[in-house]
Structure 1
Amino acid sequence: MRYGKLEVICGPMFSGKSTEILKRAIWYTHGTGSHIMLLKPAFDVRYAQDRVVNHDGVGFDAMPITRMPPVADQISAVFIDEVQFCTDPHYQGDLVEDVRALLARGIDVAVAGLDMDWRGRAFPLTATLAAMADGIQKLRARCAVCGHDAHKSFKKHSNDRTVELGQADLYEPRCNLHWHDHSTRPGTELSLDL
C-alpha cells in the first residue's frame, strides 16, 4: 500500500489559503472522480458553520470538527482548512498523529492555515505539519499599508489573545516594513508617512 502525500498551504491572513484548499479539493474531486472529505474546525464560524468559505464568499460544504471523524475506506483525500485552530481546547486529540494515521492508510492530506500568529510567532501545529510535508505552498498577501508583498498578519487592536477570530475588522496583512508586534511595545503604534 502506498503512503499518502501531505501538502501544507500556509501564509498570513488574506493570502488566499482557503481559496487554495477549495481549489485543490474541487480539482481532486473533478480530476480523479475520487471521494474526499473537506474539514474545518467547528470553532471557526466566521462565514459559515458547515462550509469552508473564502473572504470573497466562495464556499464548499465541509464537516465542522472537534476531533478527527471516522474516514471511510473509499475516501482518497482529506482537506483541512484553518488547521492552526485544530489544537486544544478546540480540537480533542492530536491532529499530527491523526494525519500520520491517514497517510499510513494511503490517504492524501492537504491542510491550509496560518503559519504565524499576529506576534510573528509560528503556530506549532502548522510548523510541525510543514516539517512532515511532501510539498509546501507559502502564500503572500498584499500589505494593507503599501501594497508590497505581505508575509505577516497584523492585529489592529492590541490584546493578549493569540487566537482571536476576526476578519478585516481585526486583522490586515503587512509587509516587514509596516508590521510590528505591538504586544512588546504597549501603547505604541507604528506611524509612517508614505
Structure 2
Amino acid sequence: MYTYTKKQGRIEVICGCMFSGKSEELINRLRKAKIAKQKIQVFNSSLDKRYACNAIASHNKTKLESEHVNTASEILKLVKPSTTVVAVDEGNFFDKTLVDVCETLAQKGKRVIVSGVDLDYTGKPFEAMALLMAKAEFVTKNLAVCTKCGSPASRTQRIAKAKSRILVGAQGVYEARCRKCFKPGK
C-alpha cells in the first residue's frame, strides 16, 4: 500500500483526534522511507513548540528533525528538487492553502504525507484536513481511547478554558473522547 514509485506522486493523510498516534505513525513512515534511501523533508507549523522547536514529536517524545514554517506556501519554496517524500505534521494548524501546496508537490511526483487532527474541539472539521482527505490517495484515521469510558475515541475534548479555535496543547488541555462522552465546545 505504501510503496513508492518515482513516476507518480501521491497524498497520504493520517488523521484522528488528539492522542491517537498520528505523529507517531508519520514518524514511522518517514523512518521507513529513510531506510529505503529516500530523501525526506519534514515541516511543521511554527505554532507547535510543545516538545521541540526543530522537530516533530509524538506525545511519547519520539522525535524527528523538521523545519518550522509560518504558512503552507513556504513549504513549496523550501522543498528541494532531490526530495522524494514531503511530510507535514499538524496539518490542522494550516489554512486551505495547504491543499494546493500538497497537490502541487504530488503533481511534481512527490510522496506527500500530512498528519493532523480532523475535528476541532467543537466537532467541526478543520477545512484543510477535510479537503486533503477528499483529495488523498490514502487516508488513515487513527482512534484513541476515551478518557471517560474506555471506548474507541474519535473526538478531542478541550478541557482548558479558551475560546480560540486553535489552542496548542496536550494533556491538561485536551482529552480523547468517544462520540457518546464528547461534549462539543464545552
Residue 54 of structure 2: aligned partner: 50
Q: Distance in 1 between matches of 2:154 and 2:62?
A: 23
Q: Distance in 1 between matches of 2:171 and 2:162?
A: 16
C-alpha deviations, 1:25-84, integer Å up to 9, x for none?
Answer: 111111x20101011111110111110111011101111112213222211110110011
TM-score normalised by the chain length of structure 2 = 0.91
| % identical equivalent positions | 29
1:175 and 2:181 are equivalent in the alignment? no
**What is the CA-CA distance between 1:98 and the residue it aligns to?**
1.2
The DSSP-based 3-state class of the residue aligned with 2:84 is strand
Partner AA of 2:160 in structure 1: H
Q: Distance in 2 between matches of 1:49 and 1:169?
A: 21
1:15 and 2:23 are equivalent in the alignment? no
TM-score normalised by the chain length of structure 1 = 0.87
Q: What is the number of residues matched between the two proteins?
A: 177
CA contact (8 A) 1:158 1:182 kept: no
Residue 144 of structure 2: aligned partner: 141
**What is the CA-CA distance between 1:132 and the residue it aligns to?**
0.4
Question: In structure 2, which of residues 77, 84, 88 is the aligned counterpart of residue 80 of structure 1?
Answer: 88
Question: In structure 1, which of residues 29, 35, 50 is the aligned counterpart of residue 34 of structure 2?
Answer: 29
**Structure 2: gaps of 5 or more residues:** 1-5
Q: Which has the larger radius of gyration?
A: 1
User: C-alpha root-mean-square deviation of aligned residues, in Å?
Assistant: 1.4
Q: Distance in 2 between matches of 1:127 and 1:182?
A: 19
**Structure 1: gaps of 5 or more residues:** 89-93, 184-194
C-alpha deviations, 1:3-37, integer Å up to 9, x for none?
Answer: 3011000000000000000001111111x201010
